[in-house]
Every structure is written in C-alpha cells, then in structure tokens.
Structure 1
Amino acid sequence: MNTPDNTSKTSSVPVEKSDAQWREELTPEEYRVLRQAGTERPYTGEYWDTHTEGVYQCRACGSQLFTSREKFDSHCGWPSFWAPLAEGTVRYLHDRTMGMDRVEVRCANCDSHLGHVFEGEGYGTPTDQRFCINSISLRLVNPDEG
C-alpha cells in the first residue's frame, strides 16, 4: 500500500490534550471511537449514506480530512472515501487487533482514530483504496458555511 510513514503531520500545530480534556470535550461514544479506537455499528452513523457536498473534518480537532468528491458508495455501512483530502492529513498505523491485519487511519493533527484503509477490493475508484471511516469521527461542513 502506498501510504506515508507514521510521522506525517499536517501543516497546523498538532493538538495535544490530556485524557481528562478529551473526556470533557467529547461525548462518551465520541471518546470511545476517537480516543480508544472503537468502531460504531455499521449502517448507524450519520454519514454512511450521505451525498451532501462538503468537507469532512475531524470531529475532535476540526482538521479537514476528506471531501465529498472522494466519497463513494461502498455499501459497507460506514462512510467510504478513495483518498484523503491531501497527503499528510491522516497517518497510518499497522493494526493487528481482533485477529486481523489492517491499516488504521488516524487524524495527523490530533491522533484520533478515524477508521481503517483497505485496498484491492475491486471498487472502481482511482486509488483502489477504501478509507472506511466512522461517521462519529467526522463532521461534515457545507462549503457555503465557510
């Protein structure tokens, strides 16, 4: 997989907060997914079937991560994108939890868990990758809202 190394950073100053600060700012479910690498149930998240134009930001820190232009219908129950907004907006970690061998996707700015990226599944996308992202990790901002 052609993914940047784990040291990729966004151009903004990385967010560093204590566990107590994250618990205070996030709902219990946001905290479970974003800070403890949890997963929301398929077909239950806010954006899995959304076709609204806009930019998807990290729910924890507001960094711009994906756009609706790269979103596609994978029918997997979570929002799917074929690429992040730009190189360095996300970082990748090898994930061997739950008996699987996967690549975890995290926000490069605040290190929050977003989901996983898979490749070679046969989707007709330019990258042959599926960024399978938890809705609760994202916030969709309409371009008109600036």
Structure 2
Amino acid sequence: MLKIRTTRRFLFSSVPAAFAGMALGGRAIARDGDAFHFEVTRTDEEWRAMLTETEYTIMRLGGTEAPKSDPLWDSEEDGTYTCKGCDLPLYEGRFKVVIDKGWLFYRHSYPNSVLTGIDKSVYSQFAQRDGDKDAPMLPTEVDISQFSDEERDLLDPLLSLEVHCRRCASHLGHILYVENKLVHCINGTSLNFSPEAA
C-alpha cells in the first residue's frame, strides 16, 4: 500500500495541481460487489480482444487520453456519439461544446445513457506518462483513511464525478466545471461517431 505523509503545507501546495489534474483520469467501473447489473458484460479477455491497448486502458482501466489526441475533440459536425464498448447512443453533436482543452465536452447526455460515481483517485498528471505525451494517463489510488477529518474537508472539493456507460460500464470521462460551464469531459477514444445523414 502506498504510504503518504501528509502535512498542511503538502495539502496547500498540492491543491492547485490536483485541480489541474481533475480532468485526467478515472477508475475501472465494473467492480466486484457493484449493486448495478450491466446489460453488456464481457470477460477481460473478450474486452482485450475487441479493443486496442489504448482503448482498453481508457475504457476498462479508467485512463485518460492525452489532450487533443482524438481527431473529433474540436469537431462541430452533427451526428451521434455512441459507446465504443456496446454502441449505446450517449451524446448528440448538438449537445457538444468545443472548449480548447483537448477533450470532447458535452452539456449533457441522452437520458438514461450514462451513470456517474464519485472518483476518489488522486492523479499524477505526467509521472505515469514515462515521457510519452500521447500515452493515456492512469489514476493512482491513495488510502483516504490516512487523512484526518480536517485534511479530508480540504480534499473533498477535489473529488470529481466519473461518467461511464450505463449499459457496459466503460469509463467515458468526468463531469467537470470548465470555463464557467458544467460539462461532461469525455475521452473521444471511448466513443464512435456516426455523422448525421444528409
């Protein structure tokens, strides 16, 4: 288990970095003991066979793609965005907001298409990239029981809402407050896009 010695100085100096990292990761979704039963389930081997290594890292391990790595991050084309894991329609082009941060942002999803959960991961933005700026980033777990109540009060606002597909549990991204907008910040790697028919 990772041991961290936490001081007030550490907390106050790390809060800005944590805010910067909120858009950068999530955790695997379909954990043992989840009360929700997903309609589409696959073994780990089946997921690995159908997804590329990067897609698997993002959708099944809760990673985050590098900014601007998906070609549709700034597209304003009308159409439907579906889950790459199960083809469930999630977002529509008209729900999209282009924000120059490098991910796909939406005002909302289709009704009953996504689930959310509190993501308690602590992120290390660039340490896990090993020099590859295009590599997906993974969350790092920290045992929160080691923090005092006062420290948790300081850290709680840093928790983000993870978004995942309600049909197959694939990690999609997070709900964040970006440029005065509450938006779904989504990994394009988790989606397929079908342009609107002319």
- Residue of structure 1 in register with 2:51 after alignment: 26
* Unaligned segments of structure 2, at least 5 residues: 1-33, 124-157
Structure 1 length as normaliser, TM-score? 0.82
Q: CA deviation at 1:120?
A: 7.4
- Residue of structure 1 in register with 2:167 after alignment: 109
- Residue of structure 2 in register with 1:91 after alignment: 115
The Cα offsets for residues 65-118 of structure 1, whole Å up to 9 and x where unpaired, read as 0000110112221000000022x1000010010254100000000000000001
Moved over 2 A (4+): 6-9
Q: Could you say what the CA RMSD is over the residues aligned between the two structures, in angstroms?
A: 2.1
- Residue of structure 2 in register with 1:142 after alignment: 195
Shift in alpha-carbon separation, 1:28–1:120, aligned structure 2, 3 A: closer
Find out whether 1:64 has 2:89 as its counterpart: yes
In the alignment of these two chains, the number of paired residues is 131
Q: Is the 8 A contact 2:103 2:188 kept in 1?
A: yes
Could you tell me the percent identity over the aligned residues?
31
Shift in alpha-carbon separation, 1:8–1:131, aligned structure 2, 3 A: farther
Aligned equivalents of 1:50, 1:56: Cα separation in 2: 12
> Is the partner of 1:97 in helix, strand or coil?
coil
* Unaligned segments of structure 1, at least 5 residues: 1-5, 124-128
Q: CA deviation at 1:46?
A: 2.2
Q: CA deviation at 1:7?
A: 7.1
- Residue of structure 1 in register with 2:136 after alignment: none
> Hey, which of these two has a bigger chunk of helix by percent?
2
> Hey, which of these two has a bigger chunk of strand by percent?
1
Aligned equivalents of 1:112, 1:106: Cα separation in 2: 5
Q: CA deviation at 1:143?
A: 2.6
